Amino acid sequence: MWTGILFGLGVVAFIDEALFHQLLHWHHFYDKSTTNMGLVSDGLFHVFSFFATIGSAFLLADLHRKHGFWLKRWLGGIFLGAGVFQLYDGIIQHKLMRLHQIRYNVNILPYDVVWNVVAAILIVIGIILLVQTNQKGH
């Protein structure tokens, strides 16, 4: 489960950084300074997502070596990790810390709703998968 959570965090962080930061140019990880500082913060964010994803791959390989891999539980961890990261980003980083918004110069409410609803859906899917695999004997 923890391997999946770390993988989910890393993948969603990577998707956020690549899509919203680099391709769409909607925001940087830290938008309260210069564009150069925003790019540096994006680089640090990218490093985090890379290490989380690669670290989870090493943990996953260890699980396989120990014959402890369970696909459905791992997928539950991925959904849970992805959803928790996205909800943290949407509530803590966007609203409480105000590091950045999803997008600027538009009505932000629809973006916030979609962002956080998708996060909640990911969390629910993850919890359902984990509950289904939380049986004694496994």
CB burial string 32-66: b at 16+ within 10 A, e below: eeeeeebeebbeebbebbeebbeebeeebeebeee
CA distance 86 to 100: 13
Give Cα 7 to chain centroid, integer Å.
Answer: 9
Confidence of residue 99 (pLDDT cuts 50, 70, 90): confident
- Tokens 């996205």, located at residue: 86
Enter the tokens of residue 87.
Answer: 């909800």
Enter the tokens of residue 25.
Answer: 């140019």
- Give the phi and the psi of residue 97 in degrees, each rounded to 5: -85, -20
Confidence (pLDDT) at 136 = 57
CA distance 77 to 74: 5
Q: Is the pLDDT of residue 16 over 70?
A: yes
Find the range with the poorest average confidence among 4-18, 19-33, 55-69.
Answer: 19-33
What does the pLDDT average to over 33-62?
Answer: 91
Over the stretch 86-97, which tens digit does the pLDDT of each residue have?
999 999 999 999
**Full-model pTM:** 0.88
Over the stretch 58-92, which tens digit does the pLDDT of each residue have?
999 999 999 999 999 999 999 999 999 999 999 99
3-state class (DSSP) for residue 105: coil
